[in-house]
Amino acid sequence: MKNSIDAMNNTRSKWRLIWLLPMAILIITGVPKVIGMEFMVNNMADAGMGHMTLAVGILELFCVLMFLIPQTRNIGFLLTVAYTGGIICAQWIAGMSVIPGIVIQTLLWIGMRFEKPEFFILGKQTKF
Protein backbone atom coordinates (compact mmCIF):
# COMPACT_ATOMS: atom_id res chain seq x y z
CA MET A 1 0.00 0.00 0.00
CA LYS A 2 2.84 2.36 0.85
CA ASN A 3 4.43 1.75 -2.56
CA SER A 4 1.25 2.85 -4.34
CA ILE A 5 1.23 6.11 -2.33
CA ASP A 6 4.90 6.68 -3.14
CA ALA A 7 4.16 6.08 -6.82
CA MET A 8 1.29 8.58 -6.65
CA ASN A 9 3.53 11.16 -4.97
CA ASN A 10 5.99 10.86 -7.88
CA THR A 11 3.26 11.60 -10.45
CA ARG A 12 1.26 14.08 -8.43
CA SER A 13 3.48 17.02 -9.34
CA LYS A 14 2.31 16.74 -12.95
CA TRP A 15 -1.43 16.53 -12.39
CA ARG A 16 -2.15 17.87 -8.92
CA LEU A 17 -2.70 21.44 -10.10
CA ILE A 18 -5.64 20.41 -12.27
CA TRP A 19 -7.83 21.85 -9.49
CA LEU A 20 -6.60 25.37 -10.36
CA LEU A 21 -9.13 25.58 -13.20
CA PRO A 22 -12.21 24.96 -11.01
CA MET A 23 -10.81 27.31 -8.36
CA ALA A 24 -10.35 30.04 -10.99
CA ILE A 25 -13.89 29.47 -12.28
CA LEU A 26 -15.34 29.68 -8.76
CA ILE A 27 -13.41 32.89 -8.04
CA ILE A 28 -14.47 34.41 -11.37
CA THR A 29 -18.14 33.63 -10.63
CA GLY A 30 -17.97 34.40 -6.89
CA VAL A 31 -16.58 37.94 -7.05
CA PRO A 32 -19.40 39.29 -9.29
CA LYS A 33 -21.95 37.79 -6.89
CA VAL A 34 -20.36 39.53 -3.92
CA ILE A 35 -20.09 42.92 -5.60
CA GLY A 36 -23.59 42.58 -7.04
CA MET A 37 -22.90 42.87 -10.74
CA GLU A 38 -26.14 43.10 -12.68
CA PHE A 39 -25.52 40.16 -15.02
CA MET A 40 -24.85 37.86 -12.07
CA VAL A 41 -27.89 39.04 -10.14
CA ASN A 42 -29.99 38.40 -13.28
CA ASN A 43 -28.41 34.97 -13.72
CA MET A 44 -29.17 34.08 -10.10
CA ALA A 45 -32.73 35.40 -10.52
CA ASP A 46 -33.18 33.11 -13.53
CA ALA A 47 -32.26 30.21 -11.26
CA GLY A 48 -34.78 31.45 -8.67
CA MET A 49 -32.15 32.66 -6.21
CA GLY A 50 -31.81 36.36 -6.99
CA HIS A 51 -32.39 37.32 -3.35
CA MET A 52 -29.47 35.14 -2.22
CA THR A 53 -26.79 36.43 -4.60
CA LEU A 54 -24.58 38.01 -1.94
CA ALA A 55 -24.84 35.07 0.48
CA VAL A 56 -24.08 32.54 -2.25
CA GLY A 57 -21.10 34.60 -3.43
CA ILE A 58 -19.66 34.81 0.09
CA LEU A 59 -20.16 31.08 0.58
CA GLU A 60 -18.52 30.34 -2.76
CA LEU A 61 -15.45 32.45 -1.98
CA PHE A 62 -15.23 30.98 1.53
CA CYS A 63 -15.13 27.44 0.08
CA VAL A 64 -12.40 28.47 -2.37
CA LEU A 65 -10.40 30.16 0.40
CA MET A 66 -10.61 27.05 2.59
CA PHE A 67 -9.43 24.92 -0.33
CA LEU A 68 -6.52 27.18 -1.23
CA ILE A 69 -5.05 27.18 2.30
CA PRO A 70 -2.92 24.00 2.49
CA GLN A 71 -3.74 23.38 6.18
CA THR A 72 -7.50 23.43 5.49
CA ARG A 73 -7.43 21.81 2.04
CA ASN A 74 -9.26 18.64 3.13
CA ILE A 75 -12.25 20.46 4.61
CA GLY A 76 -12.10 23.01 1.80
CA PHE A 77 -12.28 20.18 -0.72
CA LEU A 78 -15.35 18.72 0.97
CA LEU A 79 -17.02 22.14 1.21
CA THR A 80 -16.28 22.93 -2.42
CA VAL A 81 -17.57 19.56 -3.61
CA ALA A 82 -20.75 20.11 -1.60
CA TYR A 83 -21.10 23.62 -3.04
CA THR A 84 -20.69 22.38 -6.62
CA GLY A 85 -23.24 19.67 -5.87
CA GLY A 86 -25.60 22.49 -4.95
CA ILE A 87 -24.79 24.21 -8.24
CA ILE A 88 -25.73 21.04 -10.11
CA CYS A 89 -29.01 20.70 -8.19
CA ALA A 90 -29.98 24.36 -8.58
CA GLN A 91 -29.27 24.33 -12.30
CA TRP A 92 -31.19 21.10 -12.76
CA ILE A 93 -34.22 22.44 -10.91
CA ALA A 94 -34.08 25.69 -12.91
CA GLY A 95 -33.92 23.74 -16.18
CA MET A 96 -30.42 24.95 -16.97
CA SER A 97 -27.46 22.87 -18.16
CA VAL A 98 -25.76 20.88 -15.40
CA ILE A 99 -22.62 20.29 -17.45
CA PRO A 100 -20.59 23.19 -15.92
CA GLY A 101 -21.15 21.93 -12.38
CA ILE A 102 -20.29 18.37 -13.36
CA VAL A 103 -17.08 19.49 -15.08
CA ILE A 104 -16.02 21.59 -12.06
CA GLN A 105 -16.75 18.73 -9.68
CA THR A 106 -14.91 16.17 -11.83
CA LEU A 107 -11.82 18.37 -12.07
CA LEU A 108 -11.88 18.87 -8.30
CA TRP A 109 -11.99 15.12 -7.65
CA ILE A 110 -9.22 14.39 -10.15
CA GLY A 111 -7.02 17.18 -8.82
CA MET A 112 -7.50 16.15 -5.22
CA ARG A 113 -6.73 12.52 -6.07
CA PHE A 114 -3.31 13.58 -7.35
CA GLU A 115 -2.81 16.23 -4.65
CA LYS A 116 -3.52 14.00 -1.64
CA PRO A 117 -3.82 10.33 -2.56
CA GLU A 118 -3.85 9.39 1.13
CA PHE A 119 -7.18 11.24 1.43
CA PHE A 120 -8.78 8.45 -0.60
CA ILE A 121 -7.55 5.51 1.49
CA LEU A 122 -10.51 3.96 3.29
CA GLY A 123 -8.76 2.38 6.25
CA LYS A 124 -5.41 1.58 7.75
CA GLN A 125 -3.65 -1.49 6.44
CA THR A 126 -2.04 -3.37 9.29
CA LYS A 127 0.52 -6.13 9.10
CA PHE A 128 0.17 -9.10 11.41
Residue-level pLDDT at 43: 86
What does the alpha-carbon distance between residue 68 and residue 71 come to, in Å, rounded to a whole number? 9
- Mean of the per-residue pLDDT values of the chain: 86
Q: What is the DSSP string of 37-86?
A: -HHHHHHHHHTT-GGGHHHHHHHHHHHHHHHHSGGGHHHHHHHHHHHHHH
What does the alpha-carbon distance between residue 7 and residue 19 come to, in Å, rounded to a whole number? 20
- Say whether pLDDT at 19 is over 70: yes
- Of 66, 96, 97, residue with least CA distance to 81: 66
Average pLDDT over residues 9-34: 83
Burial class of 1 by CB neighbour count within 10 A (0 to 12, 13 to 18, 19+): exposed
Residue type, 106: T
Q: Kindly indicate the confidence band of residue 124, based on its pLDDT and cuts at 50, 70 and 90.
A: low
pLDDT, tens only, 39-73: 999 988 888 888 999 999 999 999 999 999 999 99
Q: Kindly indicate the confidence band of residue 127, based on its pLDDT and cuts at 50, 70 and 90.
A: low
pLDDT, tens only, 96-111: 899 999 999 999 999 9
